[in-house]
Amino acid sequence: MADHYPAEIHIGGPIKRSVIDELVKQIVATGVSLNGYCEISVTDESAREALKEGSIIDLFDDRARYGRFDELEKFLVRHRIHFDLHCDAYSEYNGENVYYRGDQRVLSLTASQEGDILIRHEDVMNILNNKDLDDHGKLEALIKLIVPPETKPLEPIRFRDSS
């Protein structure tokens, strides 16, 4: 039996005009809310209103399956649509932040309830004890560990023609 717990997904960046109708259908099918947790599910009309150029669309579900939006996430990656996702910790599951910026890599990081990225002590020590890296190399590796490039702020939606 699946566990269900709070999660939110934020969508932004470049979106092809040709996928807008399908994106709206995916959002509505997910059963999410635009106004926070425990609110009324999004409708076709409210999704279209929220999905406007210059905005970031914020979607919430207080009972997301394992804290994820599987079908919506697959759709977003398939169409290279940027998103950030945060799900709360629940039972034996850690909180999680997921970032996607249009490349082929979806980055998933352990996170606190508040959405702060958590870094394992072992990962830091492995970098600091790496004899193949000089001090500058260690600093660069630590920065990439603490602030991965995929975590850059989500840009507002901008529509583009297919290319």
Average pLDDT over residues 142-158: 90
Task: Of 39-43, 95-99, 126-130, give the lowest mean pLDDT range.
Answer: 39-43
Is 90 exceeded by the pLDDT of residue 155?
yes
Domain limits, the chain: 4-160
CA distance 100 to 9: 11
The per-residue pLDDT for 14 is 96
In terms of Cα–Cα distance, which of 23, 4, 10, 159 is closest to 83?
10
Residue 40 pLDDT greater than 70, yes or no = yes
What is the spatial distance between Cα 18 and Cα 159, in angstroms, rounded to a whole number? 9
Which residue in 113, 73, 107 sits closest to 93, CA to CA?
113
Q: How confident is the model at residue 100 (pLDDT cuts 50, 70, 90)?
A: very high
Per-residue pLDDT at 39: 81
Residue type, 62: D
- Residue corresponding to tokens 């566990």: 3
Q: For the segment 5-32, what is each residue's pLDDT rounded down to a tens digit?
A: 889 999 999 999 999 999 999 999 999 9
Q: Please write the tens of the pLDDT for every residue from 80-92.
A: 999 999 998 877 7
Share of the chain above pLDDT 70, in %: 98
pTM of the model: 0.86
Longest dimension (CA), the chain: 58
**What local confidence, expressed as pLDDT, does residue 36 receive?**
80
Q: What is the pLDDT of residue 162?
A: 74
Are the beta carbons of 73 and 62 closer than 8 angstroms? no
Question: CA-to-CA distance for 4 and 6, rounded, in angstroms?
Answer: 7
